[in-house]
Amino acid sequence: MLHKSKVVVFAFSLVIVLYAVSAAFYGKVVAKDEAYKELSVFMDALEKINKDYVEAPDMSRVQEGAMRGLMEALDPYSTFLSKDQIQQLEKRKAAGNAGVGMVISKRTDVIYVVATHKGGPADVAGIRPGDYLMIIDGTSVEDKSIIEVESLLRGAPDTELKITVFRNSRTKPVEYSLNRQPDIAVPVGSQMLTGNIGVLDVSSLADSTVEQARVKLKTLISAGAQKLVLDLRDCADGPISDGAELANFFVREGTLTYLQNRQGQKVQEIKAESSKFVTDIPLVVLINSSTAGAAEIAAGALKDLQRATIVGEKSFGCGSSQKRIALKSGAALILSVAKYYTPSGKLIQDETARGAGIKPDVQSPDEDHRQDLLVDAYYDEQQDDTAKYKQLVDIITKEQMDKAVEILSRAAVPLKKAA
């Protein structure tokens, strides 16, 4: 009974906080006196809790809980960290920074696997994009922030990690064991197809791989590539600036992306530099639901500037800038203060699922065919459905590449193919 009372009072206080303070943050309260009125309701609620609650409440704990609820109501990348949580993060970082090759975010308030690095521990173990993390080494991650979960995933090299995930195709959670490994840059791949079509495979933009992409691109052109497929599928990490630079290889001038705050002001604008331009040969860009962050900047720029045809599936939708704000208590706020836009003004990290991400010009596979593939290969209650999943991925991967080649086969080759 006491536990139930705590939950009711705590939930009530969170509702008051979320309404009043988030309204102040986002400008939905039109006047200061109205904001103060709403905040006074919150303060009154705290006073009643402190005075009338059945037990002597730990008010610092109540307020910390309210702050966590507030930040969770904003976006997946904003969070509140108590002093104790910060100390725990620093302690785990000191123990080691090896990882499992996984990019995570949040969807519907649970930790979501956006992408796994090819050949990394998570990929090898069998964890897939789209899985939801539930437990890490016995610790539930249900109420934890992205920062906390990323910290739990990291540790000393060659240490074992057990992860329990929920997968839409299974009725029961799945547990995996994997070993942490030092982060290794995923190399840029390249190949030549028939018809003088080059393929530049960029599955990561971390660790300065953008410079490697430049070298591989020039090598493909020197080898006779007259058309190009830029494969950004499963590319979900790396700095935003590197995504813009990748796009710059294919455009001489124009805005590639810009960062805008809540007042509608451009706080940063990245423009193409002619010195970084490489080629104007016909281009198709491949994306999927695991294309995120810097890769979305590249795809969005190339689409809006009408430099490339985008083929595949809608990308994930991740593009914001965070600021760390220290509080007097020793706690900290990690607050999203601006978001990235494509050249035409498309918001990449829209908080609605329908609006988020970059939409392809040509969807592949289309909705009907994708549904058929899922029904045939995805839903499987066998203990090991790895083979069927790989078959599904291979079919979709090939279909998207075939569509890209088909589009390029009809494209005209410019007189000058490189700068």
In this structure, the answer to whether residues 307 and 348 fall within a common structural domain is: yes
Find the CATH number of the domain harbouring 167.
Answer: 2.30.42.10
Range from 93-102, 162-171, 254-263 carrying the lowest mean pLDDT: 162-171
Q: What is the pTM of this model?
A: 0.85
In-domain check, residue 223: yes
Find the CATH number of the domain harbouring 255.
Answer: 3.90.226.10
Q: How far apart are CA 156 and CA 213, in angstroms?
A: 30
Q: How far apart are CA 141 and CA 150, in angstroms?
A: 10
In-domain check, residue 131: yes
In this structure, the answer to whether residues 137 and 195 fall within a common structural domain is: no
**Is residue 256 predicted with pLDDT exceeding 90?**
yes
Averaged over 337-344, what is the pLDDT? Answer: 96
Q: How far apart are CA 286 and CA 46, in angstroms?
A: 52
Better-scored residue on pLDDT, 159 or 354: 159
In-domain check, residue 201: yes
Between the alpha carbon of residue 307 and those of residues 232, 262, 287, the distances in Å are: 15, 30, 15
What per-residue confidence (pLDDT) applies to 382?
A: 52
Q: How far apart are CA 377 and CA 372, in angstroms?
A: 9
Better-scored residue on pLDDT, 281 or 70: 281
- What pairs with residue 103 in β-bridges? 115
The string of pLDDT tens digits covering residues 131-152 is 999 999 999 998 899 999 999 9
The string of pLDDT tens digits covering residues 199-249 is 999 999 998 899 999 999 999 999 999 999 999 999 999 999 999 999 999
Beta pairing, strands 197-201 & 227-231: parallel
- Residues 407/311, Cβ–Cβ less than 8 Å: yes
Boundary residue ending a domain (72, 91, 121): 72
In-domain check, residue 285: yes
What per-residue confidence (pLDDT) applies to 99?
A: 95
In-domain check, residue 10: yes
Residue type (1 letter), 257: T
What per-residue confidence (pLDDT) applies to 416?
A: 55
What domain range includes position 51? 2-72
The string of pLDDT tens digits covering residues 261-309 is 989 999 999 999 999 999 999 999 999 999 999 999 999 999 999 999 9
- Residues 15/45, Cβ–Cβ less than 8 Å: no
The string of pLDDT tens digits covering residues 360-402 is 999 998 877 777 777 665 555 554 577 888 888 999 999 999 9
Residue 202 burial (C-beta neighbours within 10 Å; 0-12, 13-18, 19+): buried
In this structure, the answer to whether residues 258 and 316 fall within a common structural domain is: yes
Which token pair is 300?
């969005």
Closest CA to 158 of 137, 182, 141, 135: 182
What per-residue confidence (pLDDT) applies to 35?
A: 54
In-domain check, residue 184: no
In this structure, the answer to whether residues 31 and 64 fall within a common structural domain is: yes
- Residues 352/346, Cβ–Cβ less than 8 Å: no
In-domain check, residue 214: yes
Boundary residue ending a domain (18, 42, 72): 72
In this structure, the answer to whether residues 318 and 285 fall within a common structural domain is: yes
What per-residue confidence (pLDDT) applies to 109?
A: 83
What per-residue confidence (pLDDT) applies to 47?
A: 75
Residue type (1 letter), 109: D
In this structure, the answer to whether residues 256 and 384 fall within a common structural domain is: yes
Between the alpha carbon of residue 402 and those of residues 99, 217, 377, the distances in Å are: 34, 20, 21
Residue 231's CB is within 10 A of a number of other CB atoms, namely 26
In this structure, the answer to whether residues 88 and 66 fall within a common structural domain is: no
Averaged over 87-97, what is the pLDDT? Answer: 92
Q: How far apart are CA 75 and CA 52, in angstroms?
A: 34
The string of pLDDT tens digits covering residues 19-53 is 444 444 444 444 455 555 666 776 777 777 777 77
- Residues 261/397, Cβ–Cβ less than 8 Å: no
What per-residue confidence (pLDDT) applies to 185?
A: 83
3-state SS, one letter per residue, for the chain: CHHHHHHHHHHHHHHHHHHHHHHHHHCCCCCHHHHHHHHHHHHHHHHHHHHHCCCCCCHHHHHHHHHHHHHHCCCCCCEEECHHHHHHHHHHHHHCCEECCEEEEEECCEEEEEEECCCCHHHHHCCCCCCEEEEECCEECCCCCHHHHHHHHCECCCCEEEEEEECCCCCCCEEEEEECECCCCCCCEEEEECCCEEEEECCCCCCCHHHHHHHHHHHHHHCCCCEEEEECCCCCCCCHHHHHHHHHCCCCCCEEEEEECCCCCEEEEEECCHHHCCECCCEEEEECCCCCCHHHHHHHHHHHCCCCEEEECCCCCCCEEEEEEECCCCCEEEEEEEEEECCCCCECCCCCCCCCCCCCCEECCCHHHHHHHHHHHCCCCCCCCHHHHHHHHHHHHHHHHHHHHHHHHCCCCCCCCEC
- Residues 283/250, Cβ–Cβ less than 8 Å: yes
What per-residue confidence (pLDDT) applies to 411?
A: 85
Averaged over 248-255, what is the pLDDT? Answer: 97
- Of the chain, the percentage scoring pLDDT greater than 90 comes to 64
| Cis geometry, peptide bond prior to residue 414 (ω within 30 degrees of 0) | no
Q: How far apart are CA 267 and CA 122, in angstroms?
A: 37
